[in-house]
Amino acid sequence: MSDRTQNDESGAQPPTEWQPAPRARTSSPDAAAIESWIVHQLAERLSVDGREIDPTMPFGVHGLDSAETVGLTGDLERWLGRSLRTSLAYEYPTIRSLAAYLAGDADRRPDRRHRDGRRRHARLEGRDASRNGEET
């Protein structure tokens, strides 16, 4: 009796094709890598040069609406290989604060300094314009 016949009679099935086990991410990227990834993604979505994106400014200043922000969070979730709350971009509203949080380099409390990024940015632009003698 052949080995194949013995395997068939015992009920054990020979493997059809070997598949490697999925590789788990052994370590998370650091804050700089996460920040770079987010800047690259924003630059692509907004069709701008990545150097135009200031990681210290709120997401809203860059022109992302809530649907785009949720989409970015989903892409980030897939890239990192872990689940993320869709509210993270609101809790950590700058690229830098979100990257630091995700890398574990930041305080676990949300950054509330830039809660309303568009309004703050408009105030700053208005202040700069008034200093330069322009109408606001």
pLDDT digits (tens, 9 = 90+) for 26-47: 568 999 999 999 999 999 999 9
Quote the pLDDT of residue 107. Answer: 59
Quote the pLDDT of residue 13. Answer: 55
Quote the pLDDT of residue 60. Answer: 87
Residues of the chain below pLDDT 50: 2, 5-6, 20-25, 111, 114-124, 126-130, 136
Burial class (CB in 10 A: 0-12, 13-18, 19+), 55: middle
Quote the pLDDT of residue 105. Answer: 75
Report the alpha-carbon distance of residue 122 to residue 54 in Å, rounded: 15
Q: Are 95 and 42 in contact (CB under 8 A)?
A: yes
CATH architecture of the domain covering 27-122: Orthogonal Bundle (1.10)
Non-local CB neighbours of 72 within 8 Å, separated by 6+ positions: 38, 41, 42, 45, 64, 89
Containing H/E element for 109? Answer: none
Closest Cα partner for 95 from 25, 46, 129?
46
Q: Are 93 and 60 in contact (CB under 8 A)?
A: yes
Q: Are 75 and 84 in contact (CB under 8 A)?
A: no
The tokens for 6 are 């013995």
